[in-house]
């Protein structure tokens, strides 16, 4: 029996039982309604509490409520919700300080906002009229939680669990919800400011967030979730920058649990809507040995139609694995290392934030690193204070050390083409020429595949090094495999080398591409363009790209920003290379090239168009 | 997943050492970044994981006679009896070939006492049956080459007219052996092909008295795939050189990668006239390394035996007597 659990409910949609004329509605969308007599609310809540007490009697309970508590934001809906939620807290002995509750788009009384906007001078957008927008929710919040809800802030709740070193941040994602429904939106600059203010007190905590709108969708074509596409990129970058490990949300009424680039996305279904299978989640907290894991349990109402039971059915645990649900354990933190880890310094002299040990790194060094960070060299920005970060990336640490010690990261002018030239290069062929390194790199790729629970039915090795790296994952998983040269080098290869040899008639929907280096993602975009016959838009559901090195600039040109494609990029190790900043006149203006100050490599016949070899 | 399964006349043949090599090279590693586990072809103890893989495969069939070839297997993990019985229950008959008395004893198979050992106490075949069974087994090498030939024929492309022109050699080759097609069409069996090539490489090149292992050298995508798999089977280092092939490019950094005095084996897909091999040989030797030979899937023997270099190994040789694809080389003079 766990000592502590988190109960996650969402999308209660407590609904009015009468229409606007005052007539009783024939059909109400939620099991929780405003009807006083006869009301099923009590029995619905009591059955839920009885079930949880039976399962987790002695566990301390924390409650997540991720929005859409009411259906239309009416006062009577909130009044009924207040009674129902208070009953849950009473029956399960949940302290109000242990509740993280955030508003959803249905918690806004849009009719009231529309009226207020119509009667206003229209200088302020309807979704910015916070007083009206959160009037009912604020009243309910004060009554239920006992605190004032501040609509001006995007962080509306924090819960710090000291024993587990876990900081839970509740966010208001209703930024653009007003008189009209809208996708999720959080002012990212405001979020950064508020996080800067809060997180300084919780530097050694693991961070997770709770909000309403789904950051990933299980239905939309773009998988971008119901979130403003541009804002989503900004928000995910902030989650990466501030080292959030998991996000919890609702909105879509569809349970899902997946990991992408070390961020776990957990979606809860509706707690009480009667047109879906209502459900909730319980996360059992396990914090042995400094690790922090959440055992992810899911429960649903099962209705067998028997007249002898409640009309809504009975709660039952649901087994899952596959499809939308892939995380039985949500790993927030790995165990503490048994021995102190020595600090590592990266190629730019930056103390690596991933393996800094507070005892051995002077603060000054880290501050000087911060100055460099502003140029964007580091994907994970070190903070001003040294901190122990247990992000699970042992492979990066080892690979980085090998690259550094063997000087595989080299400087000079490296000329891939007149439009693609850089002043650094990672000598991947030489790195892979040692079988220990090769084995490490192959395993690192497979580790990324596993940690992110990538689902795929076909593997493609891209380029010679990508092909070498991919053989391990291909042979280990037994999935269909083929390889291709980089599309910009098609001219250099024999006709049969650049043929996939496999036709895609619908058998391969989820593709895993493995390559050695990714910079801005354009290479894979070109691949998809060149192989349209295989990557058919009506067939392909996902293209996950895993690379050993990511050499791009995550600030100026982040990966995964194109939400219209099915492409998601993953990588083992980030080592940014500097691009040659000069244009077509680089032969005169690039001093390295002109004066041959350092090595100059013209890999692909600089200045010449490639000639067909076949 | 298994790599060595060959089906023939109601029999399913498995090369147990090949399966063990696959497990040891690709499945045994636990994912610990600090500890790489890759036993390659050097393991000779059959593990429960390998036998489980075979069992899972056998379970997909009904009524087959299962032949497990134990050649090169010297020991077995404890407690395999139940798994062997499970295989037996899935099959019409289970036969172990080239199995030692030690393994029979360790697997508690003594109850099948009608099997009689040969000279030295080992069993040429051991049938898991209480009754005497008379079966005729096919030679596994012969079986392999039959299977290989079928795949080779299926993956040979006929190039007529201009398409027969080879840009890297001044000849016309009307038949193109599509090694990539072999890999993509039957990737499991292709791993078995590479396993056998690994055994040949080990036998021919492993020892030179220095104790240093040879390095595998590859220069195109097919070679890179082969070399990557061979590197795990053999535990050899690997050097990829991109891209000497069709356009004969040699990049300026090339010499930096060759280690002085290290021994290099060029890994190729098909060796025809040996043009690319010669280029690789020159680069390796010029850069201070030592070219010691080449290994390929298919080698075309264009020379008489007395004129052939003795520096190559291949899985399949196309000769005047053994030419299932009617391979030929044509010049404008013909």
**Chain A residues closer than 8 Å to B181 by CB:** 496, 501
Report the alpha-carbon distance of residue B283 to residue B287 in Å, rounded. 6
Residue B231 domain-assigned (yes or no): yes
Residue B240 domain-assigned (yes or no): yes
Residue A363's pLDDT is what? 26
Stronger pLDDT, A191 or A426, i.e. the higher one: A191
Report yes or no: B224 at the A interface, CB cutoff 8 Å: yes
Mean pLDDT for the stretch of residues B13-23 = 97
Predicted TM-score (pTM) of this structure: 0.63
Confidence tier at A298 by pLDDT (50, 70, 90): very high
Q: Are residues B159 and B251 both part of a single domain?
A: yes
Report yes or no: A483 at the B interface, CB cutoff 8 Å: yes
Residue A381's pLDDT is what? 28
Report the alpha-carbon distance of residue A21 to residue A44 in Å, rounded. 27
Chosen for mutation from A439, A444, A515 (greatest number of chain B CBs closer than 10 Å) is A439
Report the alpha-carbon distance of residue A235 to residue A558 in Å, rounded. 12
Q: What is the pLDDT of residues A437-468, one digit of tens each?
A: 999 999 999 999 988 889 999 999 998 999 99
CATH of the domain at B89: 3.30.750
The 3-state secondary structure of A497-535 reads CCCCCCCCCCCCCEEEEEEEEECCCHHHHHHHHHCCCCC
State chain B's maximal CA–CA distance in angstroms: 70
Q: Are residues B108 and B162 both part of a single domain?
A: no
C-alpha dist (Å) from residue B36 to A614, B25, B53, B322: 41, 10, 22, 42
Chain B nearest-CA distance from A446, in A, is 9
Q: What is the pLDDT of residues B96-141, one digit of tens each?
A: 999 999 999 999 998 998 999 998 889 999 999 887 778 889 999 9
Residue A343's pLDDT is what? 33
A 397-456 → B contacts, CB under 8 A: 398, 429-430, 432-436, 438-440, 443-444, 446-447, 450
**Chain A residues closer than 8 Å to B164 by CB:** none
Stronger pLDDT, B197 or A202, i.e. the higher one: B197
Q: Which range among B14-23, B211-220, B237-246, B275-284 shows the weakest confidence by mean pLDDT?
A: B237-246
Report the alpha-carbon distance of residue A304 to residue B157 in Å, rounded. 61
Q: Are residues B161 and B70 both part of a single domain?
A: no
Residue B329 domain-assigned (yes or no): no
Mean pLDDT for the stretch of residues B9-17 = 96
Q: Are residues B159 and B79 both part of a single domain?
A: no
Report the alpha-carbon distance of residue A201 to residue A284 in Å, rounded. 25
Residue B81 domain-assigned (yes or no): yes
B20 C-beta neighbours (distance < 10 Å), count: 26
* E strand intervals along A356-436: 409-417, 420-426
Q: Are residues B101 and B63 both part of a single domain?
A: yes
Residue A144's pLDDT is what? 96
Confidence tier at A336 by pLDDT (50, 70, 90): low
**Chain A residues closer than 8 Å to B31 by CB:** 443, 446-447, 450
Residue A335 has pLDDT above 90, yes or no: no
Confidence tier at B76 by pLDDT (50, 70, 90): very high
> Could you give the dihedral angle defined by the CA atoms of residues A552, A558, A563 and A569, in that order, rounded to the nearest 10 degrees?
40
> Could you give the dihedral angle defined by the CA atoms of residues A423, A428, A430 and A435, in that order, rounded to the nearest 10 degrees?
160
What are A223's two structure tokens? 């998988």
Q: Identify the H or E element spanning A238.
A: helix A229-241
Number of domains composing chain B: 2
Q: Are residues B182 and B303 both part of a single domain?
A: yes
User: Could you tell me which chain A residue has the CA closest to the CA of B228?
Assistant: A468
pLDDT, chain B, mean: 89
Answer yes or no: do A493 and B240 touch at CB < 8 A.
no
Residue B328 domain-assigned (yes or no): no
Q: Are residues B82 and B215 both part of a single domain?
A: no
Report yes or no: B19 at the A interface, CB cutoff 8 Å: no
Mean pLDDT for the stretch of residues A194-212 = 92
What are B258's two structure tokens? 């060759």
Mean pLDDT for the stretch of residues B290-307 = 91
What are A429's two structure tokens? 């062929």
Q: Please classify residue B324 by burial: count the beta carbons closer than 10 Å to its beta carbon, then call 0-12 exposed, 13-18 middle and 19+ buried.
A: middle
Asked if B258 contacts B207 with a C-beta cutoff of 8 angstroms, the reply is no
Chain A nearest-CA distance from B257, in A, is 7
What are B314's two structure tokens? 């291949």
Report the alpha-carbon distance of residue A376 to residue A570 in Å, rounded. 19
Q: Are residues B25 and B100 both part of a single domain?
A: yes
What are A78's two structure tokens? 């909130």
Answer yes or no: do B184 and A497 touch at CB < 8 A.
no
B 117-156 → A contacts, CB under 8 A: none
Answer yes or no: do A468 and B227 touch at CB < 8 A.
yes
Residue A613's pLDDT is what? 28
Residue A369's pLDDT is what? 27
Residue B122's pLDDT is what? 92
Bridge partners (DSSP) of residue A157 are A170
Is the bond preceding residue A38 a cis peptide, omega within 30 degrees?
yes
What are A122's two structure tokens? 């229209």
Which of B188, B243, B257 is nearest residue A430 as measured by Cβ atoms?
A: B257
Report the alpha-carbon distance of residue B174 to residue A528 in Å, rounded. 32
Chosen for mutation from B235, B247, B248, B265 (greatest number of chain A CBs closer than 10 Å) is B247
Residue A201's pLDDT is what? 87
Residue B143 domain-assigned (yes or no): no
Q: Which range among B60-74, B284-298, B300-314 shows the weakest confidence by mean pLDDT?
A: B300-314
Stronger pLDDT, A544 or B252, i.e. the higher one: A544
Chain B nearest-CA distance from A503, in A, is 11
Q: Are residues B129 and B160 both part of a single domain?
A: no
Asked if A285 contacts A164 with a C-beta cutoff of 8 angstroms, the reply is yes
Q: Are residues B256 and B211 both part of a single domain?
A: yes
Residue A562's pLDDT is what? 66
Residue A603's pLDDT is what? 57
Q: The domain containing residue B308 runs over which residues? A: 148-318
Q: What is the pLDDT of residues A226-284, one digit of tens each?
A: 888 888 888 988 998 888 999 999 999 999 998 877 789 999 999 999 988 899 999 99
Q: Which range among A105-114, A205-214, A413-422, B122-131 shows the weakest confidence by mean pLDDT?
A: A413-422
Residue A492's pLDDT is what? 62
Asked if A268 contacts A9 with a C-beta cutoff of 8 angstroms, the reply is yes
Report the alpha-carbon distance of residue A518 to residue A494 in Å, rounded. 24
Q: Are residues B164 and B306 both part of a single domain?
A: yes
Report yes or no: B228 at the A interface, CB cutoff 8 Å: yes
Q: What is the pLDDT of residues B138-181, one digit of tens each?
A: 999 999 999 999 999 999 988 877 776 766 677 788 888 999 99
A582 C-beta neighbours (distance < 10 Å), count: 17
Q: What is the pLDDT of residues B224-235, one digit of tens each?
A: 999 999 999 999
Residue A348 has pLDDT above 60, yes or no: no
C-alpha dist (Å) from residue B23 to A219, A469, B126, B253, B315: 39, 18, 24, 37, 22
Residue A220's pLDDT is what? 56
Question: pLDDT above 70 covers what percent of chain A?
Answer: 84
Residue B333 domain-assigned (yes or no): no
Report yes or no: B254 at the A interface, CB cutoff 8 Å: no
Mean pLDDT for the stretch of residues B307-314 = 88
Sign of CA dihedral A213, A219, A225, A227: negative
The complex scores an ipTM of 0.93
Report yes or no: B38 at the A interface, CB cutoff 8 Å: yes
Residue A37's pLDDT is what? 76
Residue B243 has pLDDT above 70, yes or no: no
Report yes or no: B289 at the A interface, CB cutoff 8 Å: no
Residue A39's pLDDT is what? 78
Mean pLDDT for the stretch of residues A342-368 = 29
B 78-97 → A contacts, CB under 8 A: none
pLDDT, chain A, mean: 82
CATH of the domain at B295: 3.40.50.2020
Mean pLDDT for the stretch of residues B295-321 = 90
Q: Are residues B166 and B300 both part of a single domain?
A: yes
C-alpha dist (Å) from residue A12 to A81, A140, A255, B241: 8, 14, 14, 61
Which of A433, A444, A492 is nearest residue B247 as measured by Cβ atoms?
A: A492
Which of B36, B184, B239 is nearest residue A433 as measured by Cβ atoms?
A: B239
Report the alpha-carbon distance of residue A4 to residue A465 in Å, rounded. 47
Answer yes or no: do A483 and B1 touch at CB < 8 A.
no
Report the alpha-carbon distance of residue A42 to residue A61 in Å, rounded. 20
Residue B246's pLDDT is what? 34
Answer yes or no: do B240 and A432 touch at CB < 8 A.
yes
Q: What is the pLDDT of residues A359-393, one digit of tens each?
A: 222 222 222 222 222 222 223 323 333 333 334 57
- Spell out a b/e string for B284-323, using b for 16 or more CB atoms within 10 Å of the CB, else e: beeeebbbbbbbbbbbbbbeeeeeeeebbbbbbbbeeeee
Mean pLDDT for the stretch of residues B294-309 = 88
Answer yes or no: do B225 and A471 touch at CB < 8 A.
yes
Residue A281's pLDDT is what? 97
Report yes or no: A466 at the B interface, CB cutoff 8 Å: no
A 252-291 → B contacts, CB under 8 A: none
Answer yes or no: do B220 and A464 touch at CB < 8 A.
yes
Residue B308 domain-assigned (yes or no): yes
* Of the residues B138, B173, B190, the one at which a domain ends: B138
Half-sphere exposure of A533 (CA within 13 A, CB side): 5
Residues 6+ apart with CB under 8 A from A561: A233
Residue B208 has pLDDT above 80, yes or no: no
User: Tokens 């309970």 identify what position?
Assistant: A61
User: Could you tell me which chain A residue has the CA closest to the CA of B33?
Assistant: A395
Residue A602's pLDDT is what? 66
């Amino acid at each position: 029996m766990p000592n502590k659990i988190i109960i996650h409910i969402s999308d209660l949609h407590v609904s009015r039982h009468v229409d606007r004329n005052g007539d009783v509605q024939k059909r109400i969308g939620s099991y929780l309604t405003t009807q006083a007599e006869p009301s099923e609310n009590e029995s619905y809540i009591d059955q839920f509490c009885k079930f949880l007490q039976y399962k987790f009697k002695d566990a301390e309970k924390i409650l997540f409520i991720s929005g859409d508590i009411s259906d239309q934001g009416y006062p009577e809906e909130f009044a009924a919700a207040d009674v129902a939620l208070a009953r849950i807290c009473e029956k399960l002995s949940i302290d109000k300080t242990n509740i993280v509750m955030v508003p959803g788009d249905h918690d806004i009384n849009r009719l009231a906002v529309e009226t207020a906007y119509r009667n206003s001078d229209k200088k302020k957008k309807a979704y910015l009229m916070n007083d009206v927008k959160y009037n009912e929710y604020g009243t309910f919040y004060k009554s239920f939680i006992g605190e004032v809800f501040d609509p001006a802030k995007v962080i509306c709740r924090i819960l710090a669990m000291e024993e587990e070193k876990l900081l839970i941040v509740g966010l208001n994602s209703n930024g653009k919800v007003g008189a009209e429904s809208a996708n999720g939106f959080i002012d990212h600059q405001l979020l950064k400011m508020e996080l800067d203010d809060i997180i300084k007190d919780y530097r050694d905590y693991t961070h997770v967030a709770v909000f309403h709108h789904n950051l990933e969708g299980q239905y939309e074509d773009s998988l971008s979730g119901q979130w403003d596409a541009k804002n989503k990129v900004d928000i995910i970058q902030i989650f990466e920058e501030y080292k959030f490990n998991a996000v919890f949300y609702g909105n879509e009424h569809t349970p899902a649990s997946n990991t992408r680039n070390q961020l776990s996305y957990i979606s809860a279904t509706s707690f009480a809507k009667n047109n879906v299978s209502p459900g909730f989640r319980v996360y059992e907290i396990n914090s042995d040995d400094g690790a922090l894991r959440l055992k992810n349990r899911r429960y649903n109402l099962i209705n067998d139609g028997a007249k002898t039971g409640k009309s809504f059915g009975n709660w039952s645990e649901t087994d899952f694995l596959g499809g939308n649900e892939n995380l039985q354990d949500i790993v927030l933190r790995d165990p503490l290392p048994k021995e102190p880890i020595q600090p590592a310094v990266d190629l730019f002299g930056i103390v690596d934030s991933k393996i800094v040990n507070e005892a051995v790194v002077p603060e000054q060094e880290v501050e000087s690193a911060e100055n460099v960070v502003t140029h964007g060299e580091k994907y994970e920005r070190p903070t001003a204070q040294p901190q122990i970060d247990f992000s699970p990336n042992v492979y990066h640490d080892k690979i980085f050390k090998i690259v550094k010690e063997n000087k595989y990261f080299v400087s000079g002018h490296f000329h891939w083409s007149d439009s693609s030239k850089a002043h650094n290069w990672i000598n991947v062929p030489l790195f892979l020429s040692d079988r220990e390194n090769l084995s490490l790199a192959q395993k690192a790729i497979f580790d990324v595949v596993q940690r992110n629970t990538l689902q795929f039915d076909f593997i493609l090795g891209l380029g010679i090094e990508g092909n070498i790296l991919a053989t391990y994952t291909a042979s280990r998983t037994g999935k269909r495999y083929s390889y291709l040269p980089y599309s910009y080098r098609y001219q250099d290869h024999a006709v049969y080398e650049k043929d996939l040899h496999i036709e895609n008639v619908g058998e391969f929907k989820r593709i895993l591409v493995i390559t050695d280096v990714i910079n801005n993602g354009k290479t894979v975009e070109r691949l998809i363009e060149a192989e349209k016959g295989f990557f058919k838009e009506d067939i392909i559901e996902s293209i996950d790209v895993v690379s050993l090195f990511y050499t791009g600039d995550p600030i100026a040109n982040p990966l995964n920003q194109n939400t219209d494609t099915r492409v998601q990029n993953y990588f083992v190790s980030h080592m940014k290379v500097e691009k040659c900043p000069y244009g077509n006149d680089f032969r005169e203006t690039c001093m390295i090239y002109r004066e041959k100050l350092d090595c100059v490599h013209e890999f692909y016949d600089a200045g010449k168009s490639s000639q067909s070899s076949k | 997943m298994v790599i060595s399964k060959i089906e023939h006349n109601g029999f399913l043949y498995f090369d147990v050492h090949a399966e063990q090599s696959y497990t040891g090279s690709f499945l045994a590693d636990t994912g610990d970044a600090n500890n790489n586990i890759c036993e390659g072809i050097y393991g000779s103890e059959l593990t429960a994981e390998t036998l489980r893989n075979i069992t899972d495969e056998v379970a997909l069939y009904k009524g087959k006679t299962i032949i497990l070839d134990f050649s090169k297997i010297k020991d077995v993990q404890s407690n395999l009896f139940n798994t062997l019985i499970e295989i037996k229950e899935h099959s019409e008959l289970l036969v172990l070939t080239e199995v030692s008395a030690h393994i029979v004893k360790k697997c508690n198979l003594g109850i099948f006492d009608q099997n009689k050992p040969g000279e030295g106490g080992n069993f040429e075949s051991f049938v898991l049956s209480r009754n005497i069974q008379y079966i005729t087994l096919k030679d596994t090498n012969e079986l392999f080459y039959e299977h290989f030939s079928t795949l080779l024929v299926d993956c040979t492309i006929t190039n007529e007219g201009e398409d027969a022109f080879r840009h890297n050699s001044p000849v016309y080759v009307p038949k193109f052996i599509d090694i990539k097609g072999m890999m993509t069409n039957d990737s499991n069996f292709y791993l078995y092909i590479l396993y056998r090539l690994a055994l040949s490489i080990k036998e021919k090149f492993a020892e030179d008295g220095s104790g240093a292992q040879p390095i595998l050298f590859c220069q195109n995508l097919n070679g890179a795939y082969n070399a990557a798999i061979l590197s795990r089977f053999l535990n050899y280092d690997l050097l990829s050189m991109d891209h000497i092939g069709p356009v004969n490019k040699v990049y300026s950094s090339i010499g930096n990668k060759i280690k002085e005095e290290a021994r290099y084996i060029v890994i190729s897909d098909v060796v025809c006239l040996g043009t690319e091999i010669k280029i690789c040989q020159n680069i390796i030797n010029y850069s201070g390394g030592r070219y010691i030979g080449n290994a390929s899937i298919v080698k075309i023997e264009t020379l008489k035996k007395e004129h052939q270099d003795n520096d190559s190994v291949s899985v399949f040789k196309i000769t005047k007597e053994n030419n299932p694809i009617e391979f030929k080389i044509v010049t404008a003079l013909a």
